[in-house]
Amino acid sequence: MRAELIHAVHLPVEEMSRFEAGVVDRASRDRIYTHLASCPECRTEAVEVHRILRGHNRARKVPRLLGTAVGLAAMITVVVVLQAPTHSMPAAVTRGVPEARAGVLLLHPLAPLGEISAAAGPLTFIWRPVSEAVEYHLTVTDQVGRTLWTRNTRDTTLLPPLEVALARGFSYFWFVDALLPNGESVTTGTREFRISR
Amino acid sequence: MPASSDFCSGAQLKGAEHPGALGRLLVAPDADAQAEAWDGFVAKHSALLLRVAGSMGGGRDETMDRYAFVLERLRQDDFHRLRAYCPDNRAKFTTWLVVVARRLCLDQYRERYGRASSDESSARETVITRRRLQDLLGADPEFVQIADPSIPHPVDAMQSVTDGTVLHRALATLGPEDRLLLRLRFEDDLPAREIASLLRFPTPFHVYRRVNALLSALRLRLTNAGVEGPDQ
């Protein structure tokens, strides 16, 4: 009965947009979250709206970033031309600085990448260690983003269990997130592989 | 799920202004100015509206049909729907517009194909959620199969009802945000990365940690309530 009442009225447009914007006030917060937890339709809407806006914002950022990159490239060219005769850039500027702190995605995926052969032995996920990482989280998904397998590990190789059946001729995706001691994380980014027929 | 809402009250509007293109549209003094403002509004927001229309699936033709439908409905009744936007909503106009446009796309779908019955899929999702939670909590796997006619014995079914009720009660003790988190993770099967973004966790690892903490707490409650795991 209570669930039926909750489902009878969906979240108004204003509350849904406030939830997405992260500006839900304290008074309505519990009600909105309670409704979302019990209403699959509103939850789907919240997820879809979030995806749409995130995709839209990313698409808008690309031209801006390109413009910024062009500007920076021009500045760097000028600086290099002006400074080249006097001294060179010290080679060890970033030595000893953890790669993740340098703001670069440097959790290197090693395998599987691209087209792989089923005859080459059991499928094994391998990535380079990040010295500071305390835990890695591997996720394997299919082409539509459905999660097929996830696993936490402190190792840098993982073999999927037999029940994770990956078919030949299909593409799959995987990524590893490493949690650093300071609470930050680095990732391999999403990598694709395909088991050849 | 209505695609429009009530108009702003005077108090809500006080001191707040509609964003540029919308403001020009809503205060246009005559038909020509309104047509010009509408063109400006469409030019400014067409990329976003096309993205909404495209998010509902189908090919280019379906997307363009939905896009045209959304524009038509936004323009309808002297921009009735757009006038419902409250500038002090605190959410950006584009966020509000995406919600409205998506609901209009659903209206268009329902006009064409009718309203799908959600009872069956909802029941299936509930079973899936409980099954996943049960797997993680290590409780008796029978309790999620109450509706299955192949259940061997009424006593088992009775136990299943009891266990299901215990789990339901344990879940009810969680806060709304935690319940939403578990739904997103185990019913909607969203990756931690996306949940973190949606619920504003700093990283996906904060999601994993929270989920693990919740599952541990639930497992303890179930154990205290006498629900045994499969290996006990």
Q: In a structure prediction context, what are the per-residue pLDDT tens digits for chain A, which is 197 residues long?
A: 444 444 458 999 999 999 998 888 888 889 999 999 999 999 999 999 999 998 888 777 666 665 666 666 666 555 554 554 443 333 322 223 333 343 445 788 899 999 888 787 888 999 988 877 678 889 888 876 777 888 888 889 998 888 888 888 888 989 888 877 766 778 888 888 988 87
Structure-block tokens of residue B219: 């497992």
In this prediction, residue A11 carries a pLDDT of 93
**Residue among B98, B176, B183 minimizing CB distance to A30:** B176
Assess whether pLDDT exceeds 90 at residue B196: yes
Distance, in Å, from the CA atom of A98 to the CA atom of A87, rounded to the nearest integer, reads: 26
Question: What residues 69-128 of chain A have any CB closer than 8 A to a CB of chain B?
Answer: none
Chain B residues with CB under 8 Å of A51 CB are 55, 194
Q: Distance (Å) from the C-alpha of residue B183 to the closest C-alpha of chain A? A: 6
In this prediction, residue A78 carries a pLDDT of 55
In this prediction, residue A89 carries a pLDDT of 34
Chain B residues with CB under 8 Å of A55 CB are 51
Assess whether pLDDT exceeds 80 at residue B169: yes
Distance, in Å, from the CA atom of B5 to the CA atom of A2, rounded to the nearest integer, reads: 24
Contact A45 B99 (CB under 8 A): yes
In this prediction, residue A168 carries a pLDDT of 85
Nearest CA in chain B to A9: B1
Phi, psi dihedrals of residue A110, rounded to the nearest 5°: -110, -45
In this prediction, residue A186 carries a pLDDT of 80
* pLDDT, tens digit, 9 for 90 and up, residues B58-110: 888 999 999 999 999 999 999 999 999 988 757 889 999 999 999 999 999 98
Nearest CA in chain A to B89: A14
In this prediction, residue B175 carries a pLDDT of 92
Q: Which of A10-24, B36-50, B118-132 has the lowest mean pLDDT?
A: B118-132
Q: Distance (Å) from the C-alpha of residue B200 to the closest C-alpha of chain A? A: 8
Q: Exposed, middle or buried: residue B204 (CB in 10 Å: 0-12, 13-18, 19+)?
A: buried
Instruction: Indicate the helix (H) or strand (E) that contains A43.
Output: helix A40-83
In this prediction, residue A88 carries a pLDDT of 37
Chain A residues with CB under 8 Å of B200 CB are 22
Q: Return the sign of the alpha-carbon dihedral for residues B124, B125, B126, B131.
A: positive
Contact A13 B3 (CB under 8 A): yes
SS3 (DSSP) at A126: strand
List of E strands, chain B: none
Residue B219 · residue B130 · CB < 8 Å:
no
Mean pLDDT, all residues of chain B: 79
Question: What residues 145-174 of chain A have any CB closer than 8 A to a CB of chain B?
Answer: 145-147, 152
Interior/surface letters B71-103, b for 16+ CB within 10 angstroms, e for the rest: bebbbeeebebbebbbbebbbebbbbbbbbbbb
> Best mutation site among A4, A17, A31, A42 for testing chain B: the one with the most B CBs within 10 Å?
A17
Indicate the pTM of the whole model: 0.59
How many CB atoms sit inside 10 A of residue A127's CB? 23
Distance, in Å, from the CA atom of A181 to the CA atom of B215, rounded to the nearest integer, reads: 23
Structure-block tokens of residue B189: 């099967």
Q: Which residues are CB-neighbours of B177 under 8 A, at least 6 positions away?
A: A33, B199
In this prediction, residue B225 carries a pLDDT of 79
